[in-house]
Structure 1
Amino acid sequence: MHHCMEMGMDVHKVVPPPYRSTFQKLKTKFKETFFPDDPLHQFKGQTSKKKWILGAQYVFPILEWGPNYSFKLFKSDIVSGLTIASLAIPQGISYAKLANLPAIVGLYSSFVPPLLYAILGSSRDLAVGPVSIASLIMGSMLMQEVSPSKEPVLFLQLAFTSTFFAGIFQASLGFLRLGFIIDFLSKATLIGFMAGAAVIVSLQQLKSLLGIKDFTKKMALIPVLTSVFQERREWSWQTILMGCCFLALLLLSRHISMKKPKLFWVSAGAPLVSVILSTLIVFAFKANSHGISVIGELPKGLNPPSWNMLQFKGSHLVLAIKTGITTGVIALTEGIAVGRTFAAIKDYRVDGNKEMIAIGLMNIVGSSTSCYITTGSFSRSAVNHNAGAKTAVSNIVMSVAVMVTLLFLMPLFQYTPNVILGAIIVTAVAGLIDIPAAYHIWKVDKYDFIVLVCAFLGVIFISVQEGLAIAVGISVFKILLQVTRPRTVVLGNIPGTDIFRDLQHYKESTVSVPGFLIISIEAAINFANTTYLNERILRWIEEEDEGEKHSSVRYVIIDMTAVSTIDTTGITLFGDLRKAITKRGLELVLVNPLAEVMEKLQKADESNELMRPDTLYLTVGEAVASLSMSMKNQASNIYNEEMQKQQQQQEEKPNVIDSSQSE
């Protein structure tokens, strides 16, 4: 390094990181893992009274915006609340049927949870209630062991118990700051999963759309289609005609709203209008006695308590826990994704952990008030947003509208045909098939597209939960591949600069530097990839040896700029490399190890061979410049020594000649 200083070059010294105690390191790691958003920063420098106020507002977001609420905001919220209520009532009944639960449970689930979310939630646009995907998963998982037709009471008990465990799981993730767990459901996984679920849900509705009574309970393509064509004698032309007409009406209204967002009320009101029209038709023409099945009588009154129906023992407890966790993860993923989507549009922030707590608590309370799994619905939230919702009061307005329905309007649904519920479900889930997003993933990342296709095929050919499990498994396998086979590249120099880039990427603009093998490791080094890195680097060195009869490489430089962390197994990599490289007559040089990595390497380097100042540099450019100068000086010294030897030999030759002549 001193040679470069003599030539006037500015070589920066690699400074070891400042000392930090083990407690300080653990504190930092804990904070960055569980509190990356630093929720306590707003409490710094505040008075005790202000801290209590901020704490209450953090737990109950309604206290933050409630004091500034005005009649102007209420006018917007009441319009949006009534609009989403017109959508929530028919969807609630339909999704309860999708979960194989009594229709009234869907309305119960649209009453209590929105009230709780308005107090605890941090999103202004999220409309809470039952959703198709969670309903489908709950119904299909519970149906594997319990028949909803033969054991309806037990099935309902398990649905409430599963909702309770879903709420416990969701709230625990929020309290323990473990929200990163739901990030294992990648975008590709969700797109494939939802598309497959939409297909299966739509095919299952053929039971209602065709008027079939004896229909398979399996959620897979082949059993569903088999059941459809085996029961052709049960097909009802009256049901098919009504179903096709209202399905066309609903799809047309959805298309109009998608083309012209200002006409959002068309698709929002279409389900309720369809329910009213179809009910009037059945009542007027007594169609229920001509092959069209109806919902039947629904009980009036608000949610009855159901805490006594929760099952915490028995042979089905494991099923309830498994169903609760699965539906809980899906519900959280959808709810938080929807909340963040509309928050980004309106430029405000949604706290993921607070959302988990809010959704979890409303499901815990919901399980004790005859509600099943609920979360933020994309379709209702989109309508809520387009209708001009300003705060979560729109959820309260929706809940009040559902309450009025429960108290006074239940007899009106007695003649509502099941076929209209099937048509509403098909229309709702049609939006889950996102072909443009799938095509975009195909163009960008073929591996992610494979994950998407596996999720889709797994759902439609095996089952909903197995398809999801397969997709998550493939995604985790991809992560393991990235961990165990990290990206490593050989760097070359862009002539005329001190910039070094990937030789393969910049083939036309980079050249290898004579005397140097420069390698960049672009991942954390740990026990899972140490062996691979060792073998890969040594293979590069062997390739250099094979390419030259006498290898010109003198130095192996490893750029560690992208190595964020290293474990004890990873540390041994550099000791083993140095030994192997030294045997070949080469020297190992490290560039820019980060603070944590450098600290661990220093502690492990007892012989002080690995972290010598002359083998440690801040940039690749400085390392090459300094070591090139050393090589030139060494070559110059060797040349001078050879010249001196030759001069000495020439000086000795005349003496030999003179002595022979004298003789």
Structure 2
Amino acid sequence: MGNADSDEYPPMESVADGGGHRVAIPPPRPFFESLRCSLKETFFPDDPLRQFKGQPPSRRLVLGLQYVLPILEWGPRYSLGFLRADLVSGVTIASLAIPQGISYAKLANLPPILGLYSSFVPPLVYAMMGSSRDLAVGTVAVASLLTASMLGKEVKASENPTLYLHLAFTATFVAGVFQASLGLLRLGFLVDFLSHATIVGFMAGAATVVCLQQLKGILGLTRFTHETDVISVMRSVFSQTHEWRWESAVLGCCFLFFLLLTRYLSKRRPKFFWISAMAPLMTVILGSLLVYLTHAEKHGVPVIGPLKKGLNPPSSTDLAFGSPYLSTAVKTGIVTGVIALAEGIAVGRSFAMFKNYHIDGNKEMIAFGMMNIAGSCTSCYLTTGPFSRSAVNFNAGCKTAVSNIVMAIAIMFTLMFLTPLFHYTPLVVLSSIIIAAMLGLIDYETAIHLWVVDKFDFVVCMAAYVGVVFGSVEIGLVIAVAISLLRVLLFVARPRTFVLGRIPNCNAYRNIEQYPIAKNVPGILILEINAPIYFANAGYLRERISRWIDEEEDRLKASGEANLQYVILDMGAVGGIDTSGISMLEEIKKTVERRDLKLALANPGGDVMKKLSKSKFVENLGQEWFFLTVEQAVGACNFMLHKCKADTKRDGSDEKWNNV
């Protein structure tokens, strides 16, 4: 009904009483029932308890254990074919985990052996509790940099290594408790406030800073700044030109070139991914042999030195809860925990999408939290699912999380028997490995894509990058999150409103700016509100709707068309409304009536109608002015226009609303 170009309109009674066309008001529900449904949808959208319904107690116990320990679910179906694939993947990622673990531990200003410890216990915990088949657990550069930056401001690792080590364990424990708590309380959606643009800019900025800091190892410097901003780093580098070691620089550039070359070859020929995966371990072996044979450590090439043989020693008694620097450890744990969660879950979801399976974000948070709690008690520092290691695991053809178990066994073998072999590993090799890994995090292609698609997202990305590079890691993160939240607030506080017009030859009504062929309906202004109406935007919407009415009346007066008679608000996109929004609609109704116009609402949702009914707005406006669609509203308004014109011709009256 409601063809604007037709003279045939249904009688008003069919619109008001409608034969089923009346806008329904949802039946009332008890307050606590409504609250329960809202909380369930917010915190349990996946309804994890649905599988327990109708099951006997014994089956519920089994399902509960499988929910907490997913390995109990897929373990009984494990096959020999899966084992072959997971063995290859596990050994491959172990070859990458050994040099990366040592390198990232040095980046965090921790003993290198902790990098190997952190690749032994946490992967075993994740293999039992994680829901991703492809995630390879280990330390990451960004979390290592954050640990060094935030703890190093209060305690210098070179001056008080024991206290620094204990604070690192404490920060890891705090991060684990925080991560597990988010998962248990179903608060995983909080991590979503770190937008894709924020993560891209933050990771690129952190990678840039990490690469610049590796100039210490490349140039063989013994003293270096503890600051992370680019100005401090470059000042430290160029203020010590007299201490640059050409031997170290040549060795570092050669190894870096080799690593980048293997990465390039692996990208050109994906089936040769193992070349890039094995390259870091090959550089460690070659570098160690070179130093051992040439005694380069006596000529300005620093080496790792002796590594302690044996498995992870317990460290639960080393947690520094009584330290005066506990607040620093807590802050470090929360910040690094959030970053580790964002990176790990994003990586896990990416590879799950390729293999068409689902991972549970809250389960992942619990798994990350438990593996970091266990790690903090076994001489490990913060771990998550790094992209580089997970990509190697994926490309190697892993089938299940058993690849993490295989990697942990390989690391265990290394800790028990092979650690003395790393004595002569030059630090410059570790710096080369870190630089090669970090260059892959500078995703300039995504930044260009953000610029093309969404300029605001590009600003968020660059704000994070500039904040990290020229300020600090924490400053960059805070700036990016603040700008992202500002954008959300702007979307809420300044929602878009559009004028709708009728598309010729059909009954569709669309935005006249998007569809220039859409025509205004004579005497009727149709506005679409494109957001929920809350206290934050009620005032703006009131003013904007009034301005739309003013602009429409001025346009009609200038063009000599028929005067404005009706204002229709399309409420289809209004998902919710509060008391401030209801007050705004009441004020709009009064404003419209003062102008001798009539207000109609089209397609209001159930929650909106329920609140409008309880507030008596439906009664005050009249339920006959609520319509299922814009088309029905236009039809009714056109019918009234024609009826008023006919009555005016018949009795000469100028009363417009005597028949409404």
The partner residue of 2:648 within 638, 650, 661 is: 638
The reply to whether residue 573 of structure 1 matches residue 581 of structure 2 is no
Deviation sequence 1:71-115 (CA, Å, 0-9, x none): 222111111111110100110000001111110111110110001
Partner of 1:252: 261
Measured in 2, the distance between the counterparts of 1:421 and 1:121 equals: 30
Deviation sequence 1:411-464 (CA, Å, 0-9, x none): 111111100000000011111011111111111000100111111111111111
The partner residue of 1:291 within 272, 297, 300 is: 300
The answer as to whether partners of 1:490 and 1:519 remain within 8 angstroms in 2 is yes
The reply to whether residue 563 of structure 1 matches residue 571 of structure 2 is no
Deviation at 1:471, TM superposition (A): 0.7
Partner of 2:481: 472
| Matched residue SS, 1:557 | strand
**Large movers: runs of 4+ above 4 Å:** 4-11, 548-551
Deviation at 1:68, TM superposition (A): 1.5
Measured in 2, the distance between the counterparts of 1:643 and 1:472 equals: 62
The reply to whether residue 433 of structure 1 matches residue 419 of structure 2 is no
Deviation sequence 1:347-374 (CA, Å, 0-9, x none): 1111110000000010011111111000
Deviation at 1:2, TM superposition (A): 6.8
Measured in 2, the distance between the counterparts of 1:219 and 1:107 equals: 25
What letter matches 1:426 in structure 2? I
The partner residue of 1:176 within 169, 185, 197 is: 185
- After the TM superposition, which of the residue ranges 491-500 and 108-117 deviates more from structure 2? 491-500
Equivalent runs, 1:501-520 vs 2, <5 Å: 501-507=510-516, 509-520=517-528
The partner residue of 2:472 within 457, 463, 467 is: 463
Measured in 2, the distance between the counterparts of 1:28 and 1:9 equals: 32
Deviation at 1:546, TM superposition (A): 3.1
Measured in 2, the distance between the counterparts of 1:449 and 1:423 equals: 30
Partner of 2:274: 265
Deviation at 1:606, TM superposition (A): 6.3
Measured in 2, the distance between the counterparts of 1:613 and 1:70 equals: 65
Partner of 2:365: 356
Partner of 2:197: 188
Measured in 2, the distance between the counterparts of 1:613 and 1:499 equals: 24
| Matched residue SS, 2:385 | strand
Measured in 1, the distance between the counterparts of 2:406 and 2:575 equals: 50
Query: Judging changes above 3 Å, is the alpha-carbon distance between structure 1 residues 218 and 548 closer, same or farther for their aligned structure 2 residues?
Result: same
Measured in 1, the distance between the counterparts of 2:33 and 2:282 equals: 62
Deviation at 1:643, TM superposition (A): 10
Partner of 2:595: 584
Measured in 2, the distance between the counterparts of 1:435 and 1:278 equals: 31
The reply to whether residue 620 of structure 1 matches residue 630 of structure 2 is yes
The partner residue of 2:609 within 573, 598, 603 is: 598
Measured in 1, the distance between the counterparts of 2:300 and 2:14 equals: 99
Deviation at 1:548, TM superposition (A): 4.6
The answer as to whether partners of 2:586 and 2:617 remain within 8 angstroms in 1 is no
What letter matches 1:556 in structure 2? V
Query: Judging changes above 3 Å, is the alpha-carbon distance between structure 1 residues 173 and 9 closer, same or farther for their aligned structure 2 residues?
Result: closer
Partner of 2:620: 609
Measured in 1, the distance between the counterparts of 2:593 and 2:358 equals: 55
Deviation at 1:512, TM superposition (A): 0.9
Partner of 2:657: none
Measured in 2, the distance between the counterparts of 1:241 and 1:466 equals: 35
Deviation at 1:313, TM superposition (A): 3.3
The reply to whether residue 482 of structure 1 matches residue 507 of structure 2 is no
Deviation sequence 1:350-406 (CA, Å, 0-9, x none): 111000000001001111111100001111111111111111111111111111111
Measured in 2, the distance between the counterparts of 1:11 and 1:72 equals: 61
Unaligned segments of structure 2, at least 5 residues: 1-8, 655-660
Query: Judging changes above 3 Å, is the alpha-carbon distance between structure 1 residues 492 and 572 closer, same or farther for their aligned structure 2 residues?
Result: same
The partner residue of 2:80 within 71, 79, 83 is: 71
What letter matches 1:631 in structure 2? L
Partner of 1:499: 508
Measured in 1, the distance between the counterparts of 2:157 and 2:350 equals: 36
Query: Judging changes above 3 Å, is the alpha-carbon distance between structure 1 residues 6 and 120 closer, same or farther for their aligned structure 2 residues?
Result: closer
What letter matches 1:257 in structure 2? S
What letter matches 1:343 in structure 2? A
The answer as to whether partners of 1:113 and 1:366 remain within 8 angstroms in 2 is yes
Deviation sequence 1:558-578 (CA, Å, 0-9, x none): 010000011111111111111
Partner of 2:530: 522
Equivalent runs, 1:295-314 vs 2, <5 Å: 295-314=304-323
Query: Judging changes above 3 Å, is the alpha-carbon distance between structure 1 residues 629 and 97 closer, same or farther for their aligned structure 2 residues?
Result: same
The partner residue of 1:241 within 250, 254, 271 is: 250
| Matched residue SS, 1:311 | coil
- After the TM superposition, which of the residue ranges 579-588 and 601-610 deviates more from structure 2? 601-610
- After the TM superposition, which of the residue ranges 206-215 and 341-350 deviates more from structure 2? 341-350
| Matched residue SS, 1:350 | coil
Query: Judging changes above 3 Å, is the alpha-carbon distance between structure 1 residues 524 and 6 closer, same or farther for their aligned structure 2 residues?
Result: closer
The answer as to whether partners of 1:122 and 1:354 remain within 8 angstroms in 2 is yes
Measured in 2, the distance between the counterparts of 1:98 and 1:491 equals: 58
- After the TM superposition, which of the residue ranges 549-558 and 83-92 deviates more from structure 2? 549-558
Measured in 1, the distance between the counterparts of 2:245 and 2:147 equals: 29
What letter matches 1:579 in structure 2? K
Measured in 2, the distance between the counterparts of 1:161 and 1:522 equals: 47
Query: Judging changes above 3 Å, is the alpha-carbon distance between structure 1 residues 465 and 643 closer, same or farther for their aligned structure 2 residues?
Result: closer
What letter matches 1:315 in structure 2? P
| Root-mean-square deviation over aligned CA pairs | 1.8
Query: Judging changes above 3 Å, is the alpha-carbon distance between structure 1 residues 486 and 6 closer, same or farther for their aligned structure 2 residues?
Result: closer
Measured in 1, the distance between the counterparts of 2:637 and 2:498 equals: 21
Query: Judging changes above 3 Å, is the alpha-carbon distance between structure 1 residues 594 and 321 closer, same or farther for their aligned structure 2 residues?
Result: same
Deviation sequence 1:484-542 (CA, Å, 0-9, x none): 000111111113322111111112x1111111111110101101000000000011112
Measured in 1, the distance between the counterparts of 2:55 and 2:268 equals: 50
Measured in 1, the distance between the counterparts of 2:45 and 2:100 equals: 37
What letter matches 1:589 in structure 2? A
Measured in 2, the distance between the counterparts of 1:6 and 1:422 equals: 78
Measured in 1, the distance between the counterparts of 2:374 and 2:447 equals: 37
Partner of 2:116: 107
Deviation at 1:317, TM superposition (A): 1.6
User: What TM-score, normalized by structure 2, do the two folds share?
Assistant: 0.95
Measured in 1, the distance between the counterparts of 2:330 and 2:309 equals: 31
The reply to whether residue 219 of structure 1 matches residue 228 of structure 2 is yes
What letter matches 2:275 in structure 1? V
What letter matches 2:598 in structure 1? E
Partner of 2:549: 541
| Matched residue SS, 1:207 | helix
Partner of 1:403: 412
The reply to whether residue 44 of structure 1 matches residue 24 of structure 2 is no
Query: Judging changes above 3 Å, is the alpha-carbon distance between structure 1 residues 607 and 137 closer, same or farther for their aligned structure 2 residues?
Result: closer
Query: Judging changes above 3 Å, is the alpha-carbon distance between structure 1 residues 466 and 87 closer, same or farther for their aligned structure 2 residues?
Result: same
The reply to whether residue 58 of structure 1 matches residue 67 of structure 2 is yes
Measured in 2, the distance between the counterparts of 1:121 and 1:547 equals: 62
Deviation at 1:339, TM superposition (A): 0.9
User: What TM-score, normalized by structure 1, do the two folds share?
Assistant: 0.94
Equivalent pairs counted in the alignment come to 642
- After the TM superposition, which of the residue ranges 339-348 and 547-556 deviates more from structure 2? 547-556
Equivalent runs, 1:71-90 vs 2, <5 Å: 71-90=80-99
Deviation at 1:43, TM superposition (A): 2.0
What letter matches 1:55 in structure 2? G
